[in-house]
């Protein structure tokens, strides 16, 4: 390792990471006055980095690989074994094409329409209720819409549990003890019945529509012409269902931002689609969600005089890049206007990863996320009235993922025509 790379002294800094959460890398980039530094995390030497130039090298497939980079606890909960997140090169590209084939404008609109339909039907029930917990209700909506969109028929005895199980997959990776095991158990349960469903499709007993994830992933073939093994196909179908339910986190922050910035809500009532998109982009930039992503140095290289040794685990700071003062003016101010004439860098704005969709690991569901957020924003701004009573709306910068502590209680809900 080059002597000139700033280096955090000490045996291990996992505790500092747990204490400082989303700000861990950013704090050190500031104190070292450098976008890259070396440390030790989870008992291993690691490089942390952030900013536009760092993202550019991180997403260079010649320099970094994903195989062997994801911590075990993430694979056991969030990702699943042998999923796309751990692939490299041609195998990754072929698998990514399978995902991106689902992301046509027509298909994306179909999911947005399903979300709207489920939302309106749920809101009719909310009108009769004293109050509802927005985070939980939205997860039910997204879980039902995701299964319908993916062509997945949920077994009777799983319907009630499914939103909780999918939530546990993205809430448990950083958790300790029972909360972590909840995620592992949920993964085993969901993988089992989704796997059975895939076998039924292959046996001709289930016939999901052709443009659905269940159909496409059941019949996807590797380079050698073989189908994916059942477990891997199930992992990839869950790679569609789980993150759609995770949009609930962004939706909670959307609701929170409307509450904290009422003038924005008034603007949204009279503005067009462009402003709605700017608002959604700012929610994705401003609030904490995915803190960082990891990869391993594929082949040693030198960047800005710093030596990256082969095999070194490297973390790219997503949150910190979205709050980098070299990229964003007043990064800690919520301001949708900043996206009015934003030039659209794939490395400076990376809430769902950066770089290229097919050649790299950038989130396959980013366009889908934006459209689901836009349709939900319209429902919150133009299609319903509600009140937000006094409650603890603060959120942690340490818990990963983070949501407002009360999960946002809303009451006196009224659907508008």
Q: Does 50 bind ligand HEM (CB under 6 A)?
A: no
Q: Does 349 bind ligand HEM (CB under 6 A)?
A: no
How many whole angstroms separate alpha carbon 110 and alpha carbon 115?
Answer: 9
How many whole angstroms separate alpha carbon 126 and alpha carbon 68?
Answer: 46
Degrees, nearest 5: CA angle 333-335-341: 130
Q: How many residues bind ligand HEM (CB under 6 A)?
A: 24
Q: Which of 22, 24, 64, 99 binds ligand HEM (CB under 6 A)?
A: 99
Considering only residues 276 to 315 of the shown chain, the ones binding ligand HEM according to CB under 6 A are: 289-290, 293
In the complex, minimum distance from the CB of residue 289 to ligand HEM, in angstroms, rounded to a whole number: 5
How many whole angstroms separate alpha carbon 194 and alpha carbon 201?
Answer: 11
Degrees, nearest 5: CA angle 160-163-168: 120
Place of tokens 């440390």: 39
Nearest residue to the partner ligand HEM, using Cβ = 365
User: In this chain, which stretch among 26-34, 183-191, 245-253, 386-394 interacts with ligand HEM, using CB under 6 A?
Assistant: 245-253
Q: Which of 154, 201, 246, 297 binds ligand HEM (CB under 6 A)?
A: 246
Q: Which of 64, 365, 377, 404 binds ligand HEM (CB under 6 A)?
A: 365
DSSP assignment of 165-202 equals HHHHHHHSTT--HHHHHHHHHHHHHHHHHHHHHHHHHH
User: In this chain, which stretch among 161-169, 195-203, 364-372, 406-414 interacts with ligand HEM, using CB under 6 A?
Assistant: 364-372
Q: Which is nearer to ligand HEM, 23 or 240 (CB)?
A: 240
Q: Does 149 bind ligand HEM (CB under 6 A)?
A: no
How many whole angstroms separate alpha carbon 70 and alpha carbon 295?
Answer: 7
Considering only residues 386 to 405 of the shown chain, the ones binding ligand HEM according to CB under 6 A are: none
User: Rg of the Cα trace of the chain?
Assistant: 21
User: Would you call 315 exposed, middle or buried from its count of C-beta atoms within 10 A (0-12, 13-18, 19+)?
Assistant: buried
Q: Which is nearer to ligand HEM, 197 or 413 (CB)?
A: 197
Helix, strand, or coil here: 98? helix
Q: Does 84 bind ligand HEM (CB under 6 A)?
A: yes
How many whole angstroms separate alpha carbon 196 and alpha carbon 230?
Answer: 8
Q: Which is nearer to ligand HEM, 331 or 401 (CB)?
A: 401
Q: Does 85 bind ligand HEM (CB under 6 A)?
A: yes
Q: Per DSSP, what are the bridge partners of residue 65?
A: 296
In the complex, minimum distance from the CB of residue 353 to ligand HEM, in angstroms, rounded to a whole number: 3
Q: Does 368 bind ligand HEM (CB under 6 A)?
A: yes
Q: Does 195 bind ligand HEM (CB under 6 A)?
A: no
Q: Does 369 bind ligand HEM (CB under 6 A)?
A: yes
Q: Does 364 bind ligand HEM (CB under 6 A)?
A: yes
- Strand pairing of 44-49 and 306-308? unpaired
Q: Which is nearer to ligand HEM, 186 or 350 (CB)?
A: 350
Query: What is the CA 212 to chain-centroid distance, rounded?
Result: 21
Q: Which is nearer to ligand HEM, 93 or 267 (CB)?
A: 93
How many whole angstroms separate alpha carbon 363 and alpha carbon 353?
Answer: 6
Q: Residue 60: left if φ>0, alpha if ψ -120 to 50, beta else—which one? A: beta
Q: Does 98 bind ligand HEM (CB under 6 A)?
A: no
In the complex, minimum distance from the CB of residue 130 to ligand HEM, in angstroms, rounded to a whole number: 29
How many whole angstroms separate alpha carbon 405 and alpha carbon 417?
Answer: 32
C-beta neighbour count of 406 within 10 angstroms: 18
Considering only residues 213 to 242 of the shown chain, the ones binding ligand HEM according to CB under 6 A are: 239-240
Q: Which is nearer to ligand HEM, 292 or 413 (CB)?
A: 292
How many whole angstroms separate alpha carbon 256 and alpha carbon 138?
Answer: 14
Q: Which of 135, 250, 253, 319 binds ligand HEM (CB under 6 A)?
A: 250
How many whole angstroms separate alpha carbon 201 and alpha carbon 208?
Answer: 8
Instruction: Catalog residues that contact ligand HEM under the rule CB under 6 A.
Output: 84-85, 96, 99, 239-240, 243-244, 246-247, 250, 289-290, 293, 351-353, 361-365, 368-369
């Amino acid at each position: 390792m080059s002597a000139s790379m700033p280096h955090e002294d000490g045996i291990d800094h996992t505790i500092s990471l747990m204490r400082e959460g989303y700000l861990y890398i950013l704090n050190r980039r500031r104190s070292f006055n450098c976008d890259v530094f070396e440390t030790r995390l989870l008992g291993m030497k690691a490089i942390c980095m952030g900013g536009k130039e760092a993202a550019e090298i991180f997403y260079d497939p010649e320099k970094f690989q994903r195989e062997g980079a994801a911590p075990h606890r993430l694979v056991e909960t969030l990702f699943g074994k042998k999923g796309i997140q751990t692939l490299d090169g041609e195998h990754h590209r072929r698998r990514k094409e399978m995902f991106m084939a689902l992301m046509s404008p027509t298909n994306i609109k179909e999911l947005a329409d399903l979300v709207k339909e489920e939302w309106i039907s749920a809101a009719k029930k909310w009108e009769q209720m004293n109050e509802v917990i927005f985070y939980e209700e939205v997860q039910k909506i997204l879980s039902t819409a995701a299964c319908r969109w993916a062509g997945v028929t949920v077994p009777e005895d799983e319907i009630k549990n499914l939103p909780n199980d999918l939530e546990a997959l993205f809430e448990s990776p950083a958790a300790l003890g029972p909360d972590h095991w909840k995620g592992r158990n949920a993964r085993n349960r969901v993988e089992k019945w989704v796997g059975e469903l895939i076998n039924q499709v292959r046996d001709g007993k289930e016939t999901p529509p052709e443009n659905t994830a269940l159909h496409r992933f059941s019949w996807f073939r590797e380079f050698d012409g073989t189908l994916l093994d059942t477990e891997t196909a199930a992992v990839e179908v869950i790679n569609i269902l789980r993150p759609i339910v995770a949009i609930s986190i962004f939706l909670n922050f959307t609701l929170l931002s409307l509450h904290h910035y009422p003038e924005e809500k008034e603007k949204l009532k009279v503005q067009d689609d462009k402003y709605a998109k700017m608002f959604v982009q700012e929610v994705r930039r401003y609030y904490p969600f995915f803190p960082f992503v990891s990869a391993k140095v594929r082949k040693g290289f030198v960047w800005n005089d710093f030596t990256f040794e082969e095999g070194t685990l490297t973390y790219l700071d997503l949150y910190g890049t979205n709050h980098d003062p070299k990229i964003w003016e007043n990064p800690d101010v919520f301001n949708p206007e900043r996206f009015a004439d934003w030039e659209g860098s794939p490395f400076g704005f990376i809430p769902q990863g950066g770089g290229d969709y097919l050649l790299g690991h950038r989130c396959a569901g980013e366009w889908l996320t934006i459209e689901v957020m836009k349709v939900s924003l319209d429902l919150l701004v133009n299609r319903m009235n509600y009140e937000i009573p006094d409650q603890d709306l603060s959120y942690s910068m340490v818990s990963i993922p983070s949501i407002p502590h009360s999960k946002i209680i809303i009451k006196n809900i009224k659907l508008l025509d």
